[in-house]
Chains A and B, each alone.
Chain A
Amino acid sequence: MSHFPLASWQSSTTEVVPVETGGGIRAVKLTRVFNSGWGRNKRVRLALDRVSFTVQPGEAVGLLGPNGAGKTTCVRILTGLLAPTSGTAVVCGVDATREPDRLHVCVGVSFGGDSGLYTRLSGLDNLRYFASMYGAAGREADLLCHRLLDRVGLAERAGERVETYSRGMRQRLHIARALLNDPRVLLLDEPSSGLDPDHARQLRELVSTLSAEGRAILLTTHDMLEAEQVCQRVVILREGRVVRGTGVRELREDAARALGHRVELRTASQPPTGVLAAVPGILRLISEDEDPDTLVLYTREPAAATGYLLDRLGEQVLSVSVAPPSLEDAYLAALG
């Protein structure tokens, strides 16, 4: 029995076609303990500790965290590749912990990187091989594979061996493979890892389009720009625990309140210390050793601070710029 519909692929590659909605991700107190060693050398590691979060259809959520935080473990549990120690995960209405085999019909996963593909086969042969595992056959499979390769921009290199592909091309092939069953839920594990800026941008645009089609997307990444541009919400893990789960905008606003806005000030001469100390909402002041005429300060009241500085320093001010905390700043602040 075929596990995938062809209807949504019959549009042009530039048209956003909504897919059947109804189904996202709901993880409740997911816990995973790893045991290693024997006897006195036995070690127990808590990879996930009661992790809970949701991803709605049409939403892209970023799963962030340092290396070893449990992101990939979480993705594996949600795809049924790994059994949790406790907790539940419902994906596309299927209990991933009790019926992992049913998940694979509606979930697409891309682990990315250089692995996961047969490098001695062509991109097309790779897709055909995996398409057969989803029940595709004959002309139907060929049609699907060609459309997917066209969609990810690999149509011209379809017949070439994957070992000749660049990193970016392999990442795109991974995504094409993850889309074979037209999944309602897409799990992308560091999809832009190792990509140059241009390829990373193309990948972000593709992921945004997929999200706009109504799919629930969970994306693990170290790239804050990617998280900021693609995701509506982020879940931050540290040592297996959720330290923060909120919207991207809310996270930055919270960071702005805690860390302040960055104000960079260039002056013709060193401003008086008393003036700087009285800047409204000032949190801290940093001077640039390499450029003594440039000062950086962090303030909770950027508008008032800018007005104050322009008023008090007048023509001494050569330039002033204000920037809110980046998502990276907010992420690092959340990690503590």
Chain B
Amino acid sequence: MSSVGQVLRVVGNGCRTQWKINRVSPLAVVTNAVGPVAYGAAMTAGYGRPSPALIVGALAAGLWSALMIEPAVIVVHERSWGTLQSIAATPTSVAWPLIGRLIGSYLTALFCVPAIIAGMLLIFARSVPAVIAELGRTPPVLLVAVLAVTVIGLFGMSMVLMGVLIRFRYSAGMVNGLFGLIILLGGFFVPLQILPGGLEVAGRSIPAAWALDALRQVASGAALIDLAIGAGLALVWCVLGAFLMGRSGRALQRSPLAYSHG
């Protein structure tokens, strides 16, 4: 069984490998930022002016835009390159290098954050003073915690997605429908309360929805409860994702075709 140190080394190397394979592309940064900014502008037109929750939601949407397809890209690449088989032939679980690559993807996706902030400032220039004032009333710790829960929750969901993709060879196409669905159900731009009942219930399974609700309810004092629920859900997604990926090695052993793509 791998030691903690070895696992961290493998994950770190996976992260470095992802960075070397997929360096930051200015084109990707801009296109991943445009969507969330456009959504934000549309929501602001309906609600008046951007709020801290809307800004954080736009950042989360940008991350999700950059990352949603990465689990599929990583798994398809590893299969196409034959490296999934090479990794499976080592004493290390296939989960750790792939998680490392996923983390690397998150780090490169962070480059779209400045682009989103810049886009928001450009579009909402007249509202910036008011937004800054409202942000000033938001405890910084809460803001950081909301961002952390959102990012960790998305990461956990990415791991679940990756675990499914490893298990089911031809399932990569399912990521196509996930962007819009998670944007809607994650409460990134609109609070879940305005969604129809079934959709609201489904959205409550997404950690970001609770975290962003926490930001919206700073004044009411219910923020900490929502944040705690969001954090718990983020942990659940991460554990589920780690479990699915940890079992992926066994799933691969059932078929020789599992290591290849197409």
By a beta-carbon cutoff of 8 Å, the part of chain A in contact with chain B is 1, 3, 34, 72-73, 76, 79-83, 100-101, 104-105, 107, 109, 111, 113, 115-121, 125, 128-130, 132-135, 137, 177, 181
Of B86, B90, B256, the contact of A82 (CB 8 Å cutoff) = B256
B105 to chain A, nearest CB (A): 15
In the complex, the answer to whether A133 meets B10 with C-beta atoms within 8 Å is yes
Is B26 close to A, CB under 8 A? no
What are 25 A-B contacts defined by CB distance under 8 Å? A3-B91, A80-B89, A81-B253, A81-B259, A82-B253, A82-B256, A101-B91, A104-B91, A116-B83, A116-B85, A116-B86, A117-B86, A118-B21, A119-B81, A120-B20, A120-B21, A121-B17, A125-B20, A130-B86, A132-B6, A133-B87, A133-B92, A134-B92, A137-B5, A137-B6
The 4 closest A-B pairs by CB, nearest first: A115-B82, A133-B90, A133-B92, A116-B82
Among B2, B81, B90, chain A packs the most CB atoms within 10 A around the CB of B90
Interface majority SS (helix, strand, loop, mixed), chain B: helix
- What 1/0 mask marks residues of chain B from 1 to 41 whose CB sits below 8 Å from any chain A CB? 01101100110011001001100000000000000000000
In the bound complex, CA of A104 to CA of B92 (Å):
9
Residues of chain A with a CB closer than 8 A to B230's CB: none
Is B220 close to A, CB under 8 A? no
A2 to chain B, nearest CB (A): 8
Residues of chain A with a CB closer than 8 A to B85's CB: 81, 111, 116
In the complex, the answer to whether A83 meets B253 with C-beta atoms within 8 Å is yes
Residues of chain A with a CB closer than 8 A to B254's CB: 83
By a beta-carbon cutoff of 8 Å, the part of chain B in contact with chain A is 2-3, 5-6, 9-10, 13-14, 17, 20-21, 80-83, 85-92, 96-97, 249, 252-256, 259
Of A34, A107, A113, the contact of B255 (CB 8 Å cutoff) = A34
Q: How many A-B residue pairs have CB under 8 A?
A: 93
In the complex, the answer to whether A72 meets B256 with C-beta atoms within 8 Å is yes
A218 to chain B, nearest CB (A): 14
Of A81, A113, A129, A132, the contact of B89 (CB 8 Å cutoff) = A81
Among A101, A105, A113, A115, chain B packs the most CB atoms within 10 A around the CB of A115
Residues of chain A with a CB closer than 8 A to B92's CB: 132-134
A101 to chain B, nearest CB (A): 7
Residues of chain A with a CB closer than 8 A to B88's CB: 81
B46 to chain A, nearest CB (A): 44
Residues of chain B with a CB closer than 8 A to A119's CB: 81
Among B21, B81, B89, B92, chain A packs the most CB atoms within 10 A around the CB of B89
Of A72, A83, A104, A115, the contact of B81 (CB 8 Å cutoff) = A115
B176 to chain A, nearest CB (A): 25
In the bound complex, CA of A79 to CA of B249 (Å):
13
Give A107's nearest chain B residue, CB to CB. Answer: B89
Of B3, B13, B83, B91, the contact of A128 (CB 8 Å cutoff) = B13
Residues of chain B with a CB closer than 8 A to A125's CB: 17, 20
Residues of chain A with a CB closer than 8 A to B256's CB: 34, 72-73, 76, 81-82
